[in-house]
Amino acid sequence: MSTLIMLLLLNAIIGVLSQSNSSAVPMNASLTYVGSAYSMVVYEVSYVNSTGYIIVPQGVYEGRFAGLLRLGNFVYVGIYNGLITRLTFTGYFIPVVSYEAVSVPTVLSIGNYSYYVATAQSKIPVFLRYLVFNEYGNGTLINTLPLITINSSKPPLTIWFSYGYDCSEYMVNVTFYSPMKILPIPVVVNLQPPLMYFVSNVSIVSTTPNTDLMLLEPGDIVVASTPVTAVNYSMYICRKLAENFGENTEALYAMEYVGPVGISIPSELITKAFNMNHIGNNPINIINKVFYVLTNGRYRLITYSVGPENLLILNKGSPIDFTVIAMYVLRSYNIPTRVVYGFYGISTGDDNYIFSSTTSILWDEAYIGNGWVMFTPMPLLGKPMSGVGFGNVTLSIIIGLILAMPWIIGYLTYVIISHVKLR
Protein backbone atom coordinates (compact mmCIF):
# COMPACT_ATOMS: atom_id res chain seq x y z
CA MET A 1 0.00 0.00 0.00
CA SER A 2 1.32 3.47 -0.80
CA THR A 3 2.04 6.01 1.92
CA LEU A 4 -0.88 8.12 0.69
CA ILE A 5 -3.35 5.26 1.01
CA MET A 6 -2.10 4.42 4.51
CA LEU A 7 -2.45 8.03 5.61
CA LEU A 8 -5.94 8.23 4.13
CA LEU A 9 -6.85 5.02 5.98
CA LEU A 10 -5.67 6.32 9.34
CA ASN A 11 -7.35 9.67 8.70
CA ALA A 12 -10.58 7.79 8.05
CA ILE A 13 -10.12 5.93 11.33
CA ILE A 14 -9.53 9.18 13.19
CA GLY A 15 -12.49 10.79 11.44
CA VAL A 16 -14.81 8.01 12.59
CA LEU A 17 -13.46 8.13 16.13
CA SER A 18 -13.76 11.91 16.29
CA GLN A 19 -17.54 11.73 16.02
CA SER A 20 -17.73 10.60 19.65
CA ASN A 21 -18.02 13.10 22.53
CA SER A 22 -15.85 11.17 24.96
CA SER A 23 -13.98 12.87 27.81
CA ALA A 24 -10.38 13.79 27.03
CA VAL A 25 -7.57 12.59 29.31
CA PRO A 26 -4.75 15.17 29.70
CA MET A 27 -1.32 13.59 29.71
CA ASN A 28 2.40 14.20 29.57
CA ALA A 29 3.50 10.68 28.62
CA SER A 30 6.85 9.09 27.77
CA LEU A 31 7.22 7.28 24.45
CA THR A 32 9.30 4.23 23.55
CA TYR A 33 9.99 3.47 19.89
CA VAL A 34 8.49 0.11 18.89
CA GLY A 35 8.92 -0.04 15.13
CA SER A 36 7.74 1.35 11.82
CA ALA A 37 5.87 0.18 8.74
CA TYR A 38 4.51 1.90 5.62
CA SER A 39 5.78 5.35 6.65
CA MET A 40 4.05 5.02 10.03
CA VAL A 41 5.94 4.97 13.34
CA VAL A 42 4.62 3.05 16.36
CA TYR A 43 5.46 4.17 19.90
CA GLU A 44 4.55 2.58 23.20
CA VAL A 45 2.95 5.10 25.53
CA SER A 46 3.66 5.07 29.27
CA TYR A 47 1.57 7.35 31.46
CA VAL A 48 1.25 6.96 35.24
CA ASN A 49 0.07 3.32 35.59
CA SER A 50 -1.23 2.95 32.05
CA THR A 51 0.32 1.92 28.75
CA GLY A 52 -0.76 2.05 25.15
CA TYR A 53 0.26 2.56 21.52
CA ILE A 54 0.27 5.60 19.28
CA ILE A 55 0.68 5.48 15.48
CA VAL A 56 2.34 8.55 13.95
CA PRO A 57 3.10 9.33 10.28
CA GLN A 58 6.83 9.73 9.74
CA GLY A 59 7.88 13.37 9.93
CA VAL A 60 4.69 14.49 11.67
CA TYR A 61 5.01 15.62 15.28
CA GLU A 62 1.80 17.47 16.03
CA GLY A 63 -1.85 16.67 15.40
CA ARG A 64 -4.33 13.84 15.94
CA PHE A 65 -3.10 10.25 15.90
CA ALA A 66 -4.94 6.93 16.19
CA GLY A 67 -3.99 4.71 19.11
CA LEU A 68 -4.86 2.52 22.08
CA LEU A 69 -4.64 3.15 25.82
CA ARG A 70 -5.06 0.77 28.74
CA LEU A 71 -6.46 2.40 31.87
CA GLY A 72 -6.95 0.04 34.79
CA ASN A 73 -9.04 -2.90 33.62
CA PHE A 74 -10.16 -1.17 30.43
CA VAL A 75 -8.69 -0.95 26.95
CA TYR A 76 -9.63 2.08 24.87
CA VAL A 77 -9.43 2.77 21.15
CA GLY A 78 -9.22 6.50 20.58
CA ILE A 79 -7.27 9.59 19.48
CA TYR A 80 -4.06 11.12 20.77
CA ASN A 81 -4.24 14.88 20.16
CA GLY A 82 -1.09 16.82 20.91
CA LEU A 83 2.65 17.29 20.37
CA ILE A 84 5.53 14.78 20.21
CA THR A 85 8.96 16.05 21.30
CA ARG A 86 11.99 13.90 22.16
CA LEU A 87 10.03 10.74 22.98
CA THR A 88 7.43 12.62 24.97
CA PHE A 89 3.77 13.11 24.11
CA THR A 90 2.04 16.17 25.52
CA GLY A 91 -1.65 16.63 24.95
CA TYR A 92 -4.84 14.64 25.37
CA PHE A 93 -6.10 11.13 24.78
CA ILE A 94 -9.73 11.01 23.66
CA PRO A 95 -11.20 7.55 24.41
CA VAL A 96 -13.95 6.49 22.03
CA VAL A 97 -14.57 2.74 22.39
CA SER A 98 -13.83 0.96 25.68
CA TYR A 99 -13.53 -2.72 26.52
CA GLU A 100 -13.13 -4.43 29.87
CA ALA A 101 -10.15 -6.79 29.90
CA VAL A 102 -10.25 -10.15 31.68
CA SER A 103 -6.91 -11.95 31.49
CA VAL A 104 -7.09 -15.67 30.75
CA PRO A 105 -3.60 -17.20 30.61
CA THR A 106 -3.43 -20.19 28.26
CA VAL A 107 -0.42 -22.49 27.93
CA LEU A 108 0.02 -24.32 24.65
CA SER A 109 1.65 -27.67 25.42
CA ILE A 110 1.28 -31.28 24.40
CA GLY A 111 -1.26 -31.66 27.20
CA ASN A 112 -3.63 -29.12 25.62
CA TYR A 113 -3.87 -30.92 22.31
CA SER A 114 -2.99 -34.55 23.10
CA TYR A 115 -6.48 -35.69 22.20
CA TYR A 116 -7.37 -33.03 19.65
CA VAL A 117 -9.39 -34.46 16.76
CA ALA A 118 -11.55 -32.67 14.22
CA THR A 119 -12.98 -33.55 10.82
CA ALA A 120 -13.81 -31.23 7.95
CA GLN A 121 -15.68 -31.34 4.68
CA SER A 122 -14.10 -29.03 2.12
CA LYS A 123 -13.51 -28.91 -1.62
CA ILE A 124 -9.93 -27.74 -1.00
CA PRO A 125 -7.36 -28.52 1.72
CA VAL A 126 -7.42 -26.00 4.55
CA PHE A 127 -5.51 -25.21 7.72
CA LEU A 128 -7.42 -24.65 10.96
CA ARG A 129 -6.08 -21.42 12.47
CA TYR A 130 -6.08 -21.15 16.27
CA LEU A 131 -3.56 -19.02 18.18
CA VAL A 132 -1.36 -16.05 17.33
CA PHE A 133 2.06 -15.10 18.75
CA ASN A 134 4.01 -11.85 18.63
CA GLU A 135 7.24 -12.66 20.49
CA TYR A 136 9.81 -15.36 21.23
CA GLY A 137 11.53 -15.96 24.57
CA ASN A 138 13.12 -18.78 26.56
CA GLY A 139 12.57 -21.24 23.75
CA THR A 140 8.87 -20.47 23.44
CA LEU A 141 6.43 -18.40 21.42
CA ILE A 142 4.50 -15.84 23.45
CA ASN A 143 1.56 -13.53 22.88
CA THR A 144 1.99 -10.44 25.06
CA LEU A 145 -0.70 -8.30 23.45
CA PRO A 146 -3.96 -7.85 25.41
CA LEU A 147 -6.88 -8.76 23.20
CA ILE A 148 -10.08 -6.75 22.88
CA THR A 149 -13.46 -7.82 21.57
CA ILE A 150 -14.18 -5.76 18.47
CA ASN A 151 -17.33 -7.67 17.57
CA SER A 152 -19.69 -9.78 19.64
CA SER A 153 -22.73 -11.44 18.11
CA LYS A 154 -24.37 -14.68 17.18
CA PRO A 155 -23.52 -16.11 13.74
CA PRO A 156 -22.99 -15.05 11.07
CA LEU A 157 -19.67 -13.44 12.03
CA THR A 158 -17.16 -12.40 9.35
CA ILE A 159 -13.39 -12.18 9.82
CA TRP A 160 -11.60 -10.06 7.23
CA PHE A 161 -7.97 -10.72 6.33
CA SER A 162 -7.67 -8.83 3.02
CA TYR A 163 -9.58 -7.49 0.03
CA GLY A 164 -8.96 -9.31 -3.24
CA TYR A 165 -10.35 -10.19 -6.62
CA ASP A 166 -10.41 -13.26 -8.85
CA CYS A 167 -11.92 -15.00 -5.82
CA SER A 168 -13.72 -18.28 -5.23
CA GLU A 169 -16.10 -19.16 -2.40
CA TYR A 170 -15.75 -22.45 -0.53
CA MET A 171 -17.95 -23.94 2.16
CA VAL A 172 -16.15 -25.69 5.03
CA ASN A 173 -17.94 -27.76 7.67
CA VAL A 174 -15.91 -28.73 10.75
CA THR A 175 -16.89 -31.16 13.51
CA PHE A 176 -14.94 -31.42 16.77
CA TYR A 177 -14.66 -34.60 18.81
CA SER A 178 -14.52 -32.45 21.96
CA PRO A 179 -16.39 -29.13 22.38
CA MET A 180 -14.20 -26.12 21.55
CA LYS A 181 -14.32 -22.64 23.07
CA ILE A 182 -11.59 -21.10 20.91
CA LEU A 183 -12.94 -21.63 17.39
CA PRO A 184 -10.54 -22.24 14.53
CA ILE A 185 -10.67 -20.19 11.35
CA PRO A 186 -10.18 -22.27 8.17
CA VAL A 187 -7.59 -20.65 5.90
CA VAL A 188 -5.46 -21.44 2.88
CA VAL A 189 -1.72 -21.05 3.51
CA ASN A 190 0.92 -20.75 0.80
CA LEU A 191 3.36 -23.67 1.13
CA GLN A 192 5.74 -22.77 -1.67
CA PRO A 193 6.87 -19.42 -3.09
CA PRO A 194 5.71 -17.25 -4.68
CA LEU A 195 2.58 -16.14 -2.86
CA MET A 196 -0.40 -17.19 -4.96
CA TYR A 197 -3.38 -17.52 -2.60
CA PHE A 198 -4.90 -14.82 -0.40
CA VAL A 199 -7.64 -15.32 2.19
CA SER A 200 -10.10 -12.48 1.76
CA ASN A 201 -12.64 -13.27 4.46
CA VAL A 202 -14.06 -16.17 6.43
CA SER A 203 -17.60 -16.14 7.79
CA ILE A 204 -18.85 -18.34 10.62
CA VAL A 205 -22.28 -19.12 9.22
CA SER A 206 -23.60 -21.27 12.06
CA THR A 207 -22.49 -23.20 15.15
CA THR A 208 -23.78 -26.16 17.12
CA PRO A 209 -25.08 -25.17 19.58
CA ASN A 210 -25.94 -21.64 18.49
CA THR A 211 -24.00 -19.25 20.72
CA ASP A 212 -22.54 -15.75 20.94
CA LEU A 213 -19.15 -15.33 19.27
CA MET A 214 -16.43 -12.80 20.13
CA LEU A 215 -13.86 -11.63 17.58
CA LEU A 216 -10.70 -10.59 19.39
CA GLU A 217 -7.98 -8.24 18.16
CA PRO A 218 -5.10 -8.03 17.60
CA GLY A 219 -4.78 -11.49 16.12
CA ASP A 220 -8.23 -12.30 14.70
CA ILE A 221 -9.11 -14.88 17.37
CA VAL A 222 -12.69 -16.15 17.76
CA VAL A 223 -14.01 -17.26 21.15
CA ALA A 224 -17.42 -18.85 21.73
CA SER A 225 -19.48 -18.07 24.82
CA THR A 226 -20.50 -21.74 24.94
CA PRO A 227 -18.20 -24.52 23.67
CA VAL A 228 -19.35 -25.82 20.29
CA THR A 229 -19.12 -29.19 18.57
CA ALA A 230 -19.58 -28.09 14.94
CA VAL A 231 -19.10 -24.97 12.82
CA ASN A 232 -20.14 -24.15 9.26
CA TYR A 233 -17.96 -21.63 7.41
CA SER A 234 -17.94 -19.68 4.16
CA MET A 235 -14.44 -18.84 2.90
CA TYR A 236 -13.29 -16.60 0.03
CA ILE A 237 -9.87 -17.35 -1.49
CA CYS A 238 -8.43 -14.90 -4.02
CA ARG A 239 -5.54 -14.94 -6.48
CA LYS A 240 -5.06 -11.16 -6.54
CA LEU A 241 -5.06 -8.48 -3.87
CA ALA A 242 -6.92 -5.21 -4.28
CA GLU A 243 -4.96 -1.99 -3.89
CA ASN A 244 -6.97 -0.77 -0.94
CA PHE A 245 -8.04 -2.73 2.14
CA GLY A 246 -10.93 -0.35 2.82
CA GLU A 247 -11.63 2.02 5.66
CA ASN A 248 -11.25 -0.03 8.84
CA THR A 249 -9.07 -0.34 11.94
CA GLU A 250 -7.12 -3.41 10.75
CA ALA A 251 -4.04 -1.22 10.18
CA LEU A 252 -4.25 -0.06 13.80
CA TYR A 253 -4.04 -3.61 15.13
CA ALA A 254 -1.48 -4.72 12.53
CA MET A 255 0.93 -2.04 13.74
CA GLU A 256 1.20 -3.88 17.05
CA TYR A 257 3.23 -6.54 15.21
CA VAL A 258 6.23 -4.35 14.39
CA GLY A 259 8.06 -4.47 17.73
CA PRO A 260 11.07 -6.50 18.90
CA VAL A 261 10.73 -10.26 18.46
CA GLY A 262 12.91 -11.35 21.38
CA ILE A 263 16.05 -12.38 19.48
CA SER A 264 18.98 -10.47 18.03
CA ILE A 265 20.71 -11.29 14.72
CA PRO A 266 23.57 -9.23 13.24
CA SER A 267 22.33 -7.13 10.34
CA GLU A 268 25.23 -8.26 8.14
CA LEU A 269 24.10 -11.87 8.57
CA ILE A 270 20.55 -10.94 7.47
CA THR A 271 21.92 -8.99 4.50
CA LYS A 272 24.15 -11.87 3.41
CA ALA A 273 21.44 -14.52 3.72
CA PHE A 274 18.58 -12.65 2.05
CA ASN A 275 20.32 -10.14 -0.29
CA MET A 276 17.51 -7.66 -0.93
CA ASN A 277 19.63 -5.40 -3.17
CA HIS A 278 17.43 -5.74 -6.26
CA ILE A 279 14.09 -6.33 -4.52
CA GLY A 280 13.04 -2.74 -3.91
CA ASN A 281 10.45 -1.69 -1.34
CA ASN A 282 7.53 -3.77 -2.57
CA PRO A 283 6.42 -5.83 0.49
CA ILE A 284 5.19 -8.76 -1.65
CA ASN A 285 8.64 -9.02 -3.26
CA ILE A 286 10.35 -8.87 0.14
CA ILE A 287 8.09 -11.59 1.56
CA ASN A 288 8.60 -13.79 -1.49
CA LYS A 289 12.38 -13.43 -1.17
CA VAL A 290 12.32 -14.44 2.51
CA PHE A 291 9.88 -17.24 1.63
CA TYR A 292 12.16 -18.53 -1.12
CA VAL A 293 15.41 -18.36 0.87
CA LEU A 294 13.96 -20.32 3.79
CA THR A 295 12.33 -23.00 1.61
CA ASN A 296 14.83 -23.56 -1.24
CA GLY A 297 16.63 -26.42 0.51
CA ARG A 298 19.65 -24.58 1.89
CA TYR A 299 18.24 -24.79 5.41
CA ARG A 300 17.08 -28.14 6.81
CA LEU A 301 13.97 -28.75 8.89
CA ILE A 302 14.83 -30.79 11.99
CA THR A 303 12.95 -32.01 15.06
CA TYR A 304 14.74 -29.92 17.70
CA SER A 305 15.35 -26.22 18.11
CA VAL A 306 18.80 -24.73 17.61
CA GLY A 307 17.47 -21.30 18.47
CA PRO A 308 16.11 -18.97 15.77
CA GLU A 309 19.20 -16.77 16.03
CA ASN A 310 21.38 -19.77 15.07
CA LEU A 311 19.40 -21.04 12.07
CA LEU A 312 21.29 -18.98 9.50
CA ILE A 313 24.62 -20.10 10.96
CA LEU A 314 23.89 -23.82 11.38
CA ASN A 315 21.69 -24.07 8.26
CA LYS A 316 19.00 -26.00 10.13
CA GLY A 317 16.23 -25.47 12.62
CA SER A 318 12.84 -26.50 13.97
CA PRO A 319 9.47 -25.12 12.80
CA ILE A 320 9.61 -22.55 15.60
CA ASP A 321 13.10 -21.47 14.49
CA PHE A 322 11.96 -20.98 10.88
CA THR A 323 8.79 -19.06 11.70
CA VAL A 324 10.47 -16.82 14.27
CA ILE A 325 13.35 -15.88 11.98
CA ALA A 326 10.89 -15.07 9.18
CA MET A 327 9.01 -12.83 11.62
CA TYR A 328 12.27 -11.20 12.71
CA VAL A 329 13.54 -10.56 9.17
CA LEU A 330 10.25 -9.18 7.86
CA ARG A 331 9.86 -6.86 10.84
CA SER A 332 13.42 -5.64 10.21
CA TYR A 333 12.13 -4.59 6.78
CA ASN A 334 9.19 -2.79 8.45
CA ILE A 335 6.57 -5.42 7.60
CA PRO A 336 4.22 -6.31 10.50
CA THR A 337 4.43 -10.07 11.00
CA ARG A 338 3.06 -12.66 13.44
CA VAL A 339 3.32 -16.42 13.93
CA VAL A 340 0.19 -18.58 13.92
CA TYR A 341 -0.43 -22.02 15.41
CA GLY A 342 -2.94 -24.41 13.91
CA PHE A 343 -3.52 -27.77 12.25
CA TYR A 344 -3.55 -29.09 8.69
CA GLY A 345 -5.84 -31.87 7.51
CA ILE A 346 -5.11 -35.33 6.17
CA SER A 347 -7.28 -36.25 3.21
CA THR A 348 -9.41 -39.37 3.65
CA GLY A 349 -11.08 -38.98 0.25
CA ASP A 350 -14.40 -37.54 -0.90
CA ASP A 351 -13.46 -34.01 0.25
CA ASN A 352 -13.08 -35.14 3.86
CA TYR A 353 -10.12 -34.27 6.08
CA ILE A 354 -9.08 -35.25 9.57
CA PHE A 355 -7.11 -33.01 11.94
CA SER A 356 -5.32 -34.27 15.04
CA SER A 357 -2.57 -33.48 17.52
CA THR A 358 -0.04 -35.03 15.10
CA THR A 359 -0.84 -32.48 12.39
CA SER A 360 -0.03 -29.28 14.26
CA ILE A 361 1.81 -26.64 12.26
CA LEU A 362 3.15 -23.10 12.49
CA TRP A 363 3.12 -20.45 9.80
CA ASP A 364 3.63 -16.70 9.40
CA GLU A 365 1.19 -13.95 8.52
CA ALA A 366 2.56 -10.66 7.19
CA TYR A 367 0.61 -7.43 6.76
CA ILE A 368 1.30 -5.70 3.45
CA GLY A 369 -0.93 -2.65 3.84
CA ASN A 370 -3.90 -4.10 1.96
CA GLY A 371 -4.25 -7.26 4.00
CA TRP A 372 -2.58 -10.25 5.61
CA VAL A 373 -0.75 -12.90 3.56
CA MET A 374 -0.12 -16.41 4.95
CA PHE A 375 2.83 -18.69 4.24
CA THR A 376 4.96 -21.49 5.72
CA PRO A 377 8.59 -20.25 5.72
CA MET A 378 10.14 -23.70 6.03
CA PRO A 379 11.09 -26.56 3.67
CA LEU A 380 8.01 -28.75 4.10
CA LEU A 381 8.03 -32.28 2.77
CA GLY A 382 5.67 -33.35 0.01
CA LYS A 383 4.20 -31.57 -2.98
CA PRO A 384 1.24 -29.27 -2.35
CA MET A 385 -2.15 -30.10 -3.78
CA SER A 386 -3.67 -27.00 -5.41
CA GLY A 387 -0.99 -25.07 -3.59
CA VAL A 388 -2.55 -25.66 -0.20
CA GLY A 389 -2.27 -29.29 0.90
CA PHE A 390 -0.17 -32.42 1.16
CA GLY A 391 0.11 -35.44 -1.10
CA ASN A 392 -1.25 -38.45 0.79
CA VAL A 393 -2.11 -39.80 4.20
CA THR A 394 1.20 -41.58 4.85
CA LEU A 395 3.30 -38.59 3.87
CA SER A 396 1.02 -36.28 5.85
CA ILE A 397 1.51 -38.35 8.99
CA ILE A 398 5.29 -38.22 8.54
CA ILE A 399 5.14 -34.44 8.13
CA GLY A 400 2.87 -34.16 11.16
CA LEU A 401 5.28 -36.12 13.33
CA ILE A 402 8.17 -33.92 12.25
CA LEU A 403 6.29 -30.71 12.88
CA ALA A 404 4.82 -31.90 16.19
CA MET A 405 8.08 -33.36 17.51
CA PRO A 406 9.21 -30.21 19.37
CA TRP A 407 6.10 -30.48 21.53
CA ILE A 408 6.32 -34.27 21.84
CA ILE A 409 9.85 -34.04 23.29
CA GLY A 410 8.75 -31.57 25.89
CA TYR A 411 8.68 -28.34 23.91
CA LEU A 412 6.32 -25.91 25.68
CA THR A 413 4.87 -22.96 23.86
CA TYR A 414 3.23 -20.26 25.93
CA VAL A 415 0.60 -17.77 24.88
CA ILE A 416 -1.33 -15.32 27.05
CA ILE A 417 -4.78 -14.63 25.70
CA SER A 418 -6.56 -11.71 27.35
CA HIS A 419 -10.24 -12.31 26.80
CA VAL A 420 -12.15 -9.06 27.00
CA LYS A 421 -15.79 -8.17 26.93
CA LEU A 422 -17.46 -5.03 25.69
CA ARG A 423 -18.42 -2.77 28.52
Mean pLDDT over 282-299 rounds to 95
Q: Are the beta carbons of 207 and 173 closer than 8 angstroms?
A: no
Strand partners, 250: none
Residue 215 has pLDDT above 70, yes or no: yes
Between CA 55 and CA 205 the distance in angstroms is 34
Between CA 182 and CA 180 the distance in angstroms is 6
Helices (H), 208-318: 250-254, 267-274, 283-295, 311-314
**For the segment 371-383, what is each residue's pLDDT rounded down to a tens digit?**
999 999 999 753 3
DSSP assignment of 18-37 equals: TTS-PPPEEEEEEEEEEEEE
Mean pLDDT over 83-95 rounds to 93
- How far CA 127 is from CA of 118, 183, 275, 351, 371, in Å, comes to 12, 13, 31, 14, 18
Mean pLDDT over 401-422 rounds to 32
Between CA 84 and CA 273 the distance in angstroms is 37
**For the segment 330-386, what is each residue's pLDDT rounded down to a tens digit?**
999 999 999 999 999 999 999 999 999 889 999 999 999 889 999 999 997 533 322
What is the model's pLDDT at position 196? 95
Backbone φ and ψ of 389, nearest 5°: -140, -165
- How far CA 219 is from CA of 147, 156, 329, 337, 417, in Å, comes to 8, 19, 20, 11, 10
- How far CA 271 is from CA of 30, 195, 266, 267, 281, in Å, comes to 33, 22, 9, 6, 15
Mean pLDDT over 43-68 rounds to 90
Least confident interval from 22-36, 190-204, 237-251: 237-251
What is the model's pLDDT at position 39? 83
Residue 400 has pLDDT above 50, yes or no: no
What is the model's pLDDT at position 382? 39
- Coil, strand, or helix at residue 167? strand
Confidence band, pLDDT 50/70/90 cuts, at residue 112: low
